[in-house]
Amino acid sequence: MNASFVALTIISVIVAVGSVVGFLARFHHKMDLEQWTVGGRGFGLMLVWLLMAGEIFTTFTFLGASGWAYSRGGPVLYILGYSPLIYVVSFYILPPIWEVGQKHGLQTQADFFQVRYGSTYLGAFVALIGVLCLIPYVQVQLTGLGLIVEVASYGLIPRVPAMIAACVLVAAFVFVSGVRGVAWVSIIKDFLLLFAAIFIGIAIPRIYFGGITSMFAALVHANPTHLVMPGATKDLGHAWYISTVLMISLTFYMWPQYFAASYTARSSRVLRRNAVIMPLYAIAMPLMFIVGFSALLVLPGLSNGDLSLLTIVRKTFPAWLLGVVGGAGALTAMVPAAIQLLTGATLYAKNLFRPILAPGMTDQQVARLARIMVLILTVGALFFAIFTSPSLVSLLLLGSAGVAQLFPGVVLGLYWKRVTTSGIFAGMITGIAIALFLMLTGRNPYLGLNAGFVALCFNFGVTGLVSLLTTVGVTGFDEPFPAIIASSAEEGTPIA
């Protein structure tokens, strides 16, 4: 049996088992919109933890963390810097987001804006931003998956058929089982990923250098500036680090899929406990860096740093282990892609299509449209992944700077009665315009600061200023407002 066959068989088995678990998750649950999007708000600590960990550890962190360690060095520490801090922030913002969600039957991030500001158009605008930012994120997952399967099959399976096969599976289990399917596949994925990370993170420096200590000693000797900022880059220094870590940690839960994941929790206490323990999961991250650093010493001069992890695993270990790492990597792409597709489809059907084009739709019809949208978005992301390969990372950066601009609307919406719909609109448009301008004209970092952070500061300023100059409509979640969401549900499912 040749090596590529062994590795490929193991990858296929892992992906197949993961997908079957995804399908089985629907048992004993009637898949209405509430069950499909937010799991009936019944997830306990364990499933919420799995879902959130599952969607946060993406291919970008799997391949990208080792890739940045390889090609950029010290600046990769920003990942380790923001990892615990996003959960610190989630401790304060997710419980109130959950509470208003429970009270008003919210299922998406755009629902939150629609109800808080009493504006269907603001909700639709937020949904539009969400969908536009999610597509490149799905695309990154698919491209990563294609690379993983290509390298792990020793080039036997080109990336395009691999991406298509994975897309069919992902779309199918999202279509059938919704968010519950995603959470259950995460169990297998997290277990495999932790095993793979711990094993290769310890074994690789041990095999080549005798241990992590001697690997770092060799790297410090060979390249003394690689391990501190700005490492191998010119402009990623301390100001960039602080602004990037601040922006990501504050606005991470503005990604619509992470925002909506909080609605799956059974209680706000589950979310708080989750925030306390989640930083421990990031312990796998430094091991990815260690693999990247080892690869820099063992295999210098790779053209694509993102391939450093897979290349050194392929060089070092037997085919079956490459298969396990490849399978873990493939699921690491599929789980986040699944939740991103589900969120994008729900946002489109519920917050863009229904309010703007077909206000009379029932919840059942929205659920049907959302499922069809999963298939359409999958084809769209697949199309981009196959036909536009360059600068994926820059697309993703654009996406995260884009969703970051939703942060003032959420935080001020929760805690400031004086904030107005016009203020939020003006701030978001300003923030997005500045982020787009700086990033598309190659000004990121700008004056040493993260461009998304600069845009967010302007966003806050404009939101505050315009809010003070305009009259307040809805002042918070406590006052009665026209029940926009309930009105279009007609006699549909009792949501709250």
Partner 1 sequence: MKPPSLGAVLLGFIPFVATCFSVALWDRVYPIVLGLPFNFFWLILWLLLTPVCMWGAYRLEVTRASGDGRGQGGLR
CB-nearer residue toward partner 1: 74 or 327: 74
- The least distance separating partner 1 from the CB of residue 134, rounded to whole angstroms, comes to 27
Looking at 62, 241, 263, 353, which residue binds partner 1 (CB under 8 A)? 241
- Residues 149/157, Cβ–Cβ less than 8 Å: yes
- Residues 29/264, Cβ–Cβ less than 8 Å: no
CB-nearer residue toward partner 1: 113 or 241: 241
CA 294 and chain centroid, separation: 27
477 lines the binding site for partner 1 (CB under 8 A): yes
235 lines the binding site for partner 1 (CB under 8 A): no
Cα-flanking dihedrals φ and ψ of residue 84, to 5°?
A: -70, -30
Largest CA distance in the chain: 73
- The least distance separating partner 1 from the CB of residue 454, rounded to whole angstroms, comes to 17
376 lines the binding site for partner 1 (CB under 8 A): no
Contact pattern from residue 248 through residue 267 relative to partner 1, giving x for each residue in contact according to CB under 8 A and a dash for the rest: -x------------------
User: What whole-number distance in Å separates Cα of residue 294 and Cα of residue 203?
Assistant: 11
Amino acid at 96: P
Amino acid at 7: A
- Residues 404/254, Cβ–Cβ less than 8 Å: yes
| Exposure class string for 320-356: b at 16+ Cβ within 10 A, else e | ebbbbbbbbbbbbbbbbbbbbbbbbbbbbbbbbbbbe
CB-nearer residue toward partner 1: 247 or 341: 247
User: What whole-number distance in Å separates Cα of residue 253 and Cα of residue 12?
Assistant: 33
CB-nearer residue toward partner 1: 250 or 349: 250
> Mind spelling out the 3-state secondary structure of 114-137?
HHHHCCHHHHHHHHHHHHHHHHHH
CB-nearer residue toward partner 1: 309 or 410: 410
SS3 472: coil
- The least distance separating partner 1 from the CB of residue 285, rounded to whole angstroms, comes to 8
Please name the residues in contact with 447: beta carbons below 8 A apart, sequence gap of 6 or more.
Answer: 454
Looking at 156, 232, 242, 433, which residue binds partner 1 (CB under 8 A)? 242
- Chain length of the chain: 496
- Stretch 163-222 residues interacting with partner 1 (CB under 8 A): 211-213, 216-217, 220
63 lines the binding site for partner 1 (CB under 8 A): no
CB-nearer residue toward partner 1: 74 or 144: 74
CB-nearer residue toward partner 1: 88 or 429: 88
User: What whole-number distance in Å separates Cα of residue 118 and Cα of residue 338?
Assistant: 30
280 lines the binding site for partner 1 (CB under 8 A): yes
410 lines the binding site for partner 1 (CB under 8 A): no
- The least distance separating partner 1 from the CB of residue 216, rounded to whole angstroms, comes to 6
Looking at 277, 372, 468, 483, which residue binds partner 1 (CB under 8 A)? 277
Q: Which residues bind partner 1 (CB under 8 A)?
A: 74, 77, 80-81, 83-85, 87-89, 91-92, 96, 99-100, 211-213, 216-217, 220, 224, 227-229, 238, 241-242, 245-246, 249, 269, 272-273, 275-277, 279-280, 282-283, 286, 289, 414-415, 476-477
